[in-house]
Structure 1
Amino acid sequence: MKHSPRLWTVIGCSLLVASLGAGATACGSEEDNPLSVRPYDAADQVAFNRTAGGRAVDPDKPLEVTVKAPRTRLTDVTVVDTHGRRLAGELSAKGDRWHSTAPMAAGVHYTVTVGTEDERGASGRRTLAFDTTPAKKVLQVEFGPDGGTYGVGQPFTAELSEPVKDKAQRALVERGLVVDAPSGVEGAWHWVDDKNLHYRPKDYWPANTEVSVRSNLEGVKIGDELHGTASKPVKLEIGDRVEVTTDASSHYLTFERNGEVINTIPVTTGKPGFSTRNGVKVVLGKQYFVQMRGDTVGIGGSEYYNLPVYYATRVTWSGEYVHAAPWSIGSHGYENVSHGCTGMSTGNAAWFYENITEGDIVKVINSIGDDMDTFGNGYGDWNMDWKEWREGSALLKGTQEGRSPLDQARLRPTV
């Protein structure tokens, strides 16, 4: 039976064998096809436009494999780099030529495995290995935060060594930033600017789980002479779900752990003119002692202060803390008298300090102050609507919400 020609594309497994009369099966094992149990050496049947073990080659030039023996055709071409990534390519309708359809990675080692079939239906095999030249200009990714234990609100950050403005290049970069998280967790990257991205799930991370981020961009061509390079991965242990809510109008702080209220604390927040910011904040760090001075945040004159502060939990880079404020203890639970921080008794502050973790959620409601900035003053990521957050993704912008194939390429469940 004569089959019409078609274009063969190398995807995951071996190419389908066109001739069904020889009894070959697609993607089958060698035991299924006796003719391919012991493939012969096809060195005399195929030719490459690369030299094995020779000088490193330009990754931007296509790889080609051709047949040089009559009545022989290519059945399978697999090209894999150092990191296990396969190079996409196409096989001609006649099976006499294969060429790559994507740029090769820079500065890596490639192994090419070629399958052939002669006029008798016998299978041959030929391999070739070569290196590509290093990139002239590299794009490195620095992930944050440092590895360790964090709360459920901690976003991942990715800082690029070079700006990326082009939409297609952004999509390529984003696809290479891989977040591993528990199955069923939906999340997305959001471009803050040309060099910075943040990643958060739709909802807070599941409590007591593990999440990690890594780059799969090493050697990958991003733009003209710009290739990705190796980046250090980051793994986070997510602890209990801790959510703190400070009501600036009632002057009380509620501390919840895994959905259960475990403490309610009288506090004071920012007075008029210095009102505490509304919204969700993420704990940035803790300091047992901080010397707080008004001039470091632009406060002087009659409002200037210079105070030793203990049990300080930071929630913004501009200097907003939850801390001990024994000098205003008479106002705790009654009125707002601070310069923007949330103050409480020394005993309550010590308890709070011991029970709060970097990455935990601290939310302020009913303040007359401004809203927390989304970026630039800590992690205000959770104040952005999820639909708007997705619009900041180069892959998900304009797509419907859900676990699309693009989501799957970026968010992969742990084993």
Structure 2
Amino acid sequence: MRRPARMLAVAGLASVAVFAAACSSGGSTPDPAPAAKITLADSTAKPINPTTPISVRASRGDLTTVTVTNRKGKNVKGASSEGGEEWHTTEDLGYGTTYTVKADAVNPDGKHTRQTFTVKTIDPDDTAYANVVPAPEVVSEDGIGVGQPMVFQFTKPIKNRAEVEKHLVVTTTPSQPGAWYWTDDQSVHYRAKDYWKPGTKIHIEANVYGVDLGDGVYGAEDNAVDYKVHDSWVAKADGNTEQLTVFHNGELVRTMPMSLGEPTTPSHRGVHVVSERSASTVMDSCSYGVCQGDPGYYRETVFDNLRISNDGEFVHAAPWSVGQQGSANVSHGCVNLSPADAKWMYDTFRLGDVVEISNSGGDELPVWDTYGDWAVPWKVWKAGNASA
């Protein structure tokens, strides 16, 4: 019996279905992809250093969003890797702060995994700033003198000096070899073997934020400053001749009669560096223990002052000793000049310019007295004293 045409068509479809089933025999629907897993790169069991980035990673999927917020709800900046499997903060965190990390990741099937973490940062007993000396705002537009050391002065005593030095950077153009040296437990100075070359550009950095300075003290923030060195100005005060000779870029430009410290109060010998300028200063002997009523007491307003040590030594106008200038040393340790010569020095010399004193009968300027750096032989200075 012949089947109707419709019945043949249905049978044909059935056979195709059977054939298709036979071809896929032994297979099954693919298993769902495993859920994405989100982890932090570092354990959250202990507080982290604020300079350590918070790093979020995804496995078996990609991160879609990550937010890190502090207690006030402020977001921390961050960036993702090219593949989308990792995200990390790109700015320093704060001390003693708790951060909330919220992350979302998606697996190949489009299924999302969301997770929240808490990260805490270390909370130091105290922090210290690395102040730069001289402060940029007191430096003249034409820069600093050839004798100016680079100085970071910390607001707290530093125990881990060697560790701190690893985070101090000096770049000079043109390049000149130099080294750090601690003049006390809060001040570290940098100088070259010889005076800076005129025109030198100097960049210094104290990258101490997050650094353990010792005894529970950490660096409060980083600091960086740029300087430039102006022309070379060096004055040489000779106690034998009582003459002050001034050299500009190595050329003698002026000779002046002067008076150094008398034998009972001799001027320190050695290299002095101008650290302060003042048009007028009240000098009072009571500042070093000789007060009113004592022999040798004085209180005088003095003009055109260049401070060259913290021991009360200045180059300044001394109209009262003009008669002895050029013939006798009669000051209390300063370099006495006539009003006209002192005005010229005041108008010419800036911070970092040099006054070298010789044959004064005094001790060498101590390394700890402002900028007594040049009293230390280069071999000793270069060796450093961070572990002392």
Q: 1:151 corresponds to which letter in structure 2?
A: G
CA distance in 2, matches of 1:394, 1:108: 36
2:154 is matched with which residue?
160
Same amino acid, percent of matched pairs: 33
Q: State the Cα distance separating 1:332 from its structure 2 match.
A: 1.4
Matched, 1:390 2:349: no
1:250 is matched with which residue?
241
Q: State the Cα distance separating 1:252 from its structure 2 match.
A: 0.3
CA distance in 2, matches of 1:289, 1:222: 40
Gaps of 5+ in 1: 1-42, 70-106, 115-123, 398-415
2:200 is matched with which residue?
209
CA distance in 2, matches of 1:45, 1:175: 41
Q: State the Cα distance separating 1:65 from its structure 2 match.
A: 9.1
Aligned length: 302
Q: State the Cα distance separating 1:163 from its structure 2 match.
A: 3.1
Alignment partner for residue 86 of structure 2, among 127, 133, 139? 127
Alignment partner for residue 330 of structure 2, among 337, 341, 366? 337
CA distance in 2, matches of 1:373, 1:136: 38
CA contact (8 A) 2:55 2:88 kept: no
1:266 is matched with which residue?
257
Q: Secondary structure at the match of 1:289?
A: strand
Scaled by the length of structure 2, the TM-score of the pair is 0.68
Q: State the Cα distance separating 1:195 from its structure 2 match.
A: 2.5
Pairing 1:19-98 to 2, within 5 Å after superposition: 48-50=39-41, 58-59=47-48
Q: State the Cα distance separating 1:372 from its structure 2 match.
A: 0.8
Alignment partner for residue 165 of structure 2, among 163, 174, 196? 174
Matched, 1:378 2:370: yes
CA distance in 2, matches of 1:242, 1:361: 6
CA contact (8 A) 2:202 2:227 kept: yes
Q: Secondary structure at the match of 1:207?
A: coil
1:358 is matched with which residue?
351
Alignment partner for residue 321 of structure 1, among 303, 307, 314? 314
- Higher alpha-carbon Rg: 2
The change in CA–CA distance for 1:192 and 1:133 in structure 2 (over 3 A counts) is farther
Q: 2:331 corresponds to which letter in structure 1?
A: S
CA deviation string 1:272-319 (max 9, x = no partner)? 111111111111112222232322233353322233322121111121
Q: 1:238 corresponds to which letter in structure 2?
A: V
CA deviation string 1:223-270 (max 9, x = no partner)? 686543323422223211111110001110110111111001111111
CA deviation string 1:184-243 (max 9, x = no partner)? 211111122332211112221221233232222323455686543323422223211111
The change in CA–CA distance for 1:224 and 1:304 in structure 2 (over 3 A counts) is closer
Q: Secondary structure at the match of 1:313?
A: strand
RMSD between aligned alpha carbons? 3.4
Gaps of 5+ in 2: 1-33, 61-74, 94-118
